[in-house]
Amino acid sequence: MSDSLDEARLEAELTSILGHLIALPSDFPPGDTRKICNYAAERFSRAGYETVLPMAIEPIANVVARSGIGKPCVVFNAHADTVGVSNPGNWETDPLRSEIRDGRVYGLGAANCKASMAVHLWLAEEVARRGGPKKGELVFTFAGDEEDLGPNGTCHLRQSGLVKPDILIVGATTDNQLITAERGVLWVRITAKGQAAHAGDPASGDNAIERMMRLLAAVQRQVFSQLGERSDGDMKSTFNIGTIRGGHNLNVVPSECAVEIDRRLLPDEPVDEAFEEIQRALDAAGEPGASFAVEWLRGTNGFKGAEDGRGVGAFRTAIEARTGSAARFLTPVGAYDGRYFADDGIEIINVGPGTGSEGHAANESVSVMQLVDAAVIHFDVVKKLLGLNG
């Protein structure tokens, strides 16, 4: 069979698959990915892949489909969940029905990350049509729980041993360019305790919000104020106080206050050490030990991959062949599921169609041309890394 692709057929197949994916709701909350993963699993199975639907907890389904055996093990990953539609009135189209206008596909998840799902599904079927991989193992994974940075999606696939990649290719909105370095993520919750009392006699109580203010001032002074000195190229070490909750009535001294903090870490900042930094600052704040607690919510290390690995080299060659320009290496703002493999010493590449600003926005869309480009590039990469039997 010829290696050439019929691009008119390719465009029709990609937009059809993407349309089916958009029509299957998978928004978080609740993060129910059963229907969309069942759809994908049926297509993988029909193409001849050994397919399973692992689920750590309902309703968060995942898909693992594999073909071939041995090394290298090349794993493609994309997340199947989306954010919800916060304000339907801001949408010009039905979010759960794809619409093609002016060379773009519109719909919820069209860019983040159902475009990559469509490319990966098409790629799996095209490789199967051509006899499967000539060497090594080709694996496709679709996962839930990504939008919550939760443990029941890609994290579960790694911890259960269902996927053990040598090269991990994560679908992401990168305009078909490359991300090979990523910051770590740490989410923590600090809770301050006090004693309720009537607001007319505040001295008879113990104000938890005031205690939290003192605790945060200590963390700001000892940790956060120093983060501006930490950088790695364009990557910055950052923090954000995302939520604060305290009190239940205006005329009552609050007995509890909680804040949640997002820390983004450079690849050389271990996540456990970042947690300990916050813990030490709280312990030194001078508050009674039983009056506060800090809780680890989420935490994964960052990574910084080489730009000359086998997978990266295959993508660089394929991107240049398709676009006529050298591949660019981007600095990510968000976090992707490859971070669960950050400590495994493997090659991790974030790449896919769509622009980062499109995801999580009303009237989300992806360029049809970028979809086609992504498919051609990914197909070329599989040929380079694994070869084809047909």
Q: Name the band, by pLDDT with cuts 50, 70 and 90, for residue 245.
A: very high
Please check the confidence at residue 292 and state whether its pLDDT lies above 80. yes
Average pLDDT, the chain: 96
**Does the structure show a pLDDT above 80 at 286?**
yes
Rounded distance, CA 377 to CA 27, Å? 29
Query: Which domains are assigned to the chain?
Result: 7-182+302-386 (3.40.630.10), 189-300 (3.30.70.360)
**335-384, pLDDT tens digit by residue?**
899 999 999 999 999 999 999 877 778 999 999 999 999 999 999 999 99
Does position 35 have pLDDT exceeding 70, yes or no?
A: yes
State residue 278's pLDDT score. Answer: 98
**Ordered strands of the 256-265 beta sheet:** 238-246, 256-265, 184-193, 292-300
pLDDT at residue 361 in the model = 86
With a pLDDT cut of 70, the percent of the chain lying above it is 99
Using the predicted structure, report yes or no on whether residue 1 has a pLDDT greater than 70.
Answer: no
Condensed to tens digits (0 to 9), the pLDDT of residues 110-126 reads 999 999 999 999 999 99
4 exposure class (CB count in 10 Å sphere: 0-12, 13-18, 19+): exposed
Query: Model confidence over 191-208: pLDDT tens digits?
Result: 999 999 999 999 999 999
If you average pLDDT over residues 131-146, what whole number do you get? Answer: 98
Q: In b/e form, how buried is each residue of 267-306, taking b as 16+ CB within 10 angstroms?
A: bebbbeebbebbeebbeebebeeebbebeeebbbbbbbbe
pLDDT digits (tens, 9 = 90+) for 262-276: 999 999 999 999 999
pLDDT (tens digit per residue) in 49-80? 999 999 999 999 999 999 999 999 999 999 99
327 contacts: CB under 8 Å, gap ≥ 6: 177, 178, 315, 316, 319, 320
Q: What is the pLDDT of residues 294-325, one digit of tens each?
A: 999 999 999 999 888 999 999 999 999 999 99
Q: Residues 136-165: what's their mean pLDDT? A: 97
pLDDT the model gives residue 334: 86
pTM of the model: 0.93
Q: What average pLDDT does the segment 215-239 reach?
A: 96
Please identify which residue in the block is written with the tokens 């983004």: 264
Crossing angle for the helix pair 368-386 and 310-323, to the nearest 10 degrees: 140
What is the reported pLDDT for 384? 98
**Mean pLDDT across the stretch 231-250?**
95
As a whole number of angstroms, the distance between CA 216 and CA 232 comes to 26
Q: What is the pLDDT of residue 91?
A: 95
